[in-house]
Amino acid sequence: MNAYDEYMRGIVKPMREELVQTGFTELTTAEEVEGTMKSLQGTALVVINSVCGCAAGLARPAVREALNASNAKPDHLFTVFAGQDKEATAMMRDFFPEVPPSSPSIAIWKDGALASFIPREQIENSEMEQIKAHLTEELEQVCKK
């Protein structure tokens, strides 16, 4: 590992931990993503994490708040880290090829298919409360039991 990679690992560590501490399972290899997604039952919230400011100030806080606010909870919480775990992120994106690559972004998966997707464009130009409300509404629709 070169000095740049080591530096970036230190920088992104708290960004990774923020979602893991919320209950997300981090998928760091293409094999983990493929095995998880192919055998997935029920619903999943998938966050494509990023080092950008809109991930730190908008996406991750909105995801945490929406999970706290929603009465409908996904069965699973997963995250991949764009720009860091490139193969894992590419494999995750292969599961929803109908949407262009976007990070950060938030996907809701249900019964083997993409049910909802919030791309970067709907994150970076919004307030955290708007993203939280949008995601809460999507969770209520897709994940209700």
DSSP state of 24: P
Distance between CA atoms of 110 and 6, rounded to whole angstroms?
Answer: 36
Q: Which of 52, 82, 108, 139 is catalytic?
A: 52
Contact (Cβ atoms closer than 8 angstroms) between residue 63 and residue 116: no
Distance, in Å, from the CA atom of 64 to the CA atom of 24, rounded to the nearest integer, reads 10
Q: State the alpha helices, DSSP H only, in 1-145.
A: 3-20, 30-38, 53-54, 60-69, 86-94, 121-124, 128-142
143 included as an active-site residue = no
Active-site entry in 19, 40, 54, 88:
54
What is the set of active-site residues?
52, 54
